[in-house]
Amino acid sequence: KNEVEQSPQNLTAQEGEFITINCSYSVGISALHWLQQHPGGGIVSLFMLSSGKKKHGRLIATINIQEKHSSLHITASHPRDSAVYICAVSPSYGGATNKLIFGTGTLLAVQP
């Protein structure tokens, strides 16, 4: 079983819809990361959080440490949001080296 599980693996939405991507993990963590990867490869960090909730524009990330679960929400989705969204965790045992454990990603397609 993977230490970081994401769902769904694939998601198709219509423009304007509210989108939720879920991430569950099985290890103790110091932080959880949400990353975005557009076609072509480059990965961008969207959020790093260790508790509660963070918001940036139309994106919201939440984490429940007790339940070992995080969600990424996209409000008023747009075709430019189409990308792979990756959940990753910084395990507590990794210390300061910041080695990440990654989920396999969620491929989001937002249709106009």
Partner 1 sequence: DVKVTQSSRYLVKRTGEKVFLECVQDMDHENMFWYRQDPGLGLRLIYFSYDVKMKEKGDIPEGYSVSREKKERFSLILESASTNQTSMYLCASSLEYTEAFFGQGTRLTVV
- Enumerate residues 6+ apart whose C-beta is below 8 A from 54: 47, 60, 61
d(CA 108, CA 76): 14
Query: For partner 1, which is the closer residue by CB, 13 or 86?
Result: 86
44: contact with partner 1 by CB under 8 A = yes
Backbone φ and ψ for 39, nearest 5 degrees, come out as -55, 135
Note if the bond before 8 is cis, omega within 30 degrees. Answer: yes
Are 108 and 82 in contact by the 8 Å Cβ rule? The answer is yes
Count of residues binding partner 1 (CB under 8 A)? 23
d(CA 58, CA 96): 31
Among 11, 24, 27, 43, binds partner 1 (CB under 8 A): 43
Q: What mask of x and - would describe binding to partner 1 in positions 90 to 109, judged by CB under 8 A?
A: x-----xxxxx-xxxx----
Q: What mask of x and - would describe binding to partner 1 in positions 1 to 40, judged by CB under 8 A?
A: -----------------------------xx-x-x----x
Among 48, 60, 69, 73, binds partner 1 (CB under 8 A): 48
Question: Which residues of this protein are in contact with partner 1, per CB under 8 A?
Answer: 30-31, 33, 35, 40-45, 48, 86, 88, 90, 96-100, 102-105
